Amino acid sequence: MVLESKIKSSQHKLNEIRATAICGNDISSSVLYVSALSIIAAGQYAWIALLIVAVVLFAFRKIYAEVVGALPLNGGAYNALLNTTGKSTASLAATLTLLSYIATAVISATEAMHYLHSIIPAFSVIIATIILLAIYESSVRVAARDAVDFPVVFNNAL
């Protein structure tokens, strides 16, 4: 009980302005990222595709708000489907979500290396993308290992 109160008292929470800024940055970066790719693919008709996406997202806004409000943690889609459908449907959604994250990482890294290649033509896009993803993967492994070791270190310090 004492440990829980120490942990809760040491946690810092974001205020409303900072949380809104982070969410706004996340949303605007996604919009700008998709807009650029849509313009490349659809050319002058990209605005129609983006308008259709905006209308669909607007139609589902209350569902998104309900799911995020009820299940604000990572895996919210999995938890929502687990609570409303079967385990196999929720597992399929979780698998597709992971595949989406992996595809997004590869596409983002490739686009970043294309940008770097336009500045410094000596870089090979494919090799630089592989190196960037390897660096990212290594940093995630270190962070995950540190996150697992943290409770042990924290408990030993008490």
Q: What does the pLDDT look like over 48-94, one tens digit per residue?
A: 988 888 888 888 888 777 766 665 555 666 777 777 788 888 888 77
Distance (Å, rounded) from C-alpha 117 to C-alpha 101? Answer: 24
- Entry pTM: 0.53
Q: How far apart are CA 2 and CA 6, in angstroms?
A: 6
Long-range contacts: 152-158, Cβ < 8 Å, 24+?
Answer: 155/3, 158/3
Amino acid 153: pLDDT: 47
Q: What is the rounded distance in angstroms from the CA atom of residue 126 to the CA atom of residue 145?
A: 29
Instruction: Assign residue 43 a region (left: φ > 0; alpha: ψ between -120 and 50; beta: otherwise).
Output: left
The overall longest dimension of the chain from CA atoms, in Å, is 63
Q: Reduce the DSSP state of residue 74 to 3 states and report it.
A: coil
pLDDT of residue 26: 67
What value does the CA radius of gyration of the chain take, rounded to a whole number of Å?
Answer: 21
Task: Report CA 21 to chain centroid distance, whole Å.
Answer: 16
Q: How confident is the model at residue 148 (pLDDT cuts 50, 70, 90)?
A: low
